[in-house]
């Protein structure tokens, strides 16, 4: 994993958290379950960003991709079919905060996926030889 891809991913994941923090204020009053989903997402962005900063590992890049993919899917669902108790955004594809979210999530997804694809594969740990001893009577 390159340091540049790691930095871009960290900044992007933090951006996902910030965008959802800004949107959570209105969401708290409109759709409470969605607000709590935002809180979980924001917590996940903190954990993944900190982990990538202090312990870069391909598994955290995969977690960053998931953190980007979930709200991206939620955005698409909220604009097409609507979400339970929140159908007021159906067809609202030009919301500025939503477009910023799409851009950042897409960038994180692309960067983390590319870094994962280019990261060296770990060789499995060698197995210890099995020793069999005869049973004593």
Which pLDDT value is given to residue 12? 95
**Per-residue pLDDT tens for 81-104?**
888 887 777 878 888 888 999 999
pLDDT over 90 percentage in the chain: 47
Indicate whether 56 pLDDT > 90: no
Q: Which domain holds residue 74?
A: 3-117
Contacts of residue 39, Cβ cutoff 8 Å, sequence gap at least 6: 24
**pLDDT of res. 137:** 66
Per the structure block, which two tokens stand in for 105?
């999530």
Segment 63-69 shows an average pLDDT of 95
- Whether 57 is in a domain gets the answer yes
Asked whether residue 11 is domain-assigned, the answer is yes
Q: Is residue 43 a part of any domain in this protein?
A: yes
CA distances in angstroms from 96 to 19, 32, 101, 123, 124, listed in the order given: 11, 22, 9, 45, 46
79 or 42, greater pLDDT: 42
User: Is residue 96 domain-resident?
Assistant: yes
When mean pLDDT is compared over 56-70, 85-99, 111-125, the highest value belongs to 56-70
Closest CA to 55 of 121, 130, 1: 1
Helix ranges, 1-137 (H): 3-30, 32-54, 58-80, 96-118
């Amino acid at each position: 994993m390159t340091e540049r891809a790691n930095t871009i991913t960290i900044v992007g994941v933090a951006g996902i958290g910030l965008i959802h923090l800004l949107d959570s204020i209105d969401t708290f009053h409109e759709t409470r379950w969605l607000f709590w989903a935002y809180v979980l997402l924001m917590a996940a962005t903190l954990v993944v960003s900190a982990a990538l900063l202090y312990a870069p590992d391909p598994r955290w890049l995969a977690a960053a991709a998931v953190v980007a993919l979930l709200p991206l899917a939620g955005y698409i669902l909220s604009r097409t079919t609507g979400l339970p108790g929140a159908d007021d955004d159906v067809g609202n594809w030009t919301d500025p905060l939503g477009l910023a979210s799409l851009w950042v999530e897409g960038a994180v997804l692309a960067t983390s996926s590319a870094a994962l694809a280019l990261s060296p594969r770990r060789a499995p740990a060698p197995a210890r030889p099995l020793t069999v001893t005869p049973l004593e009577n």
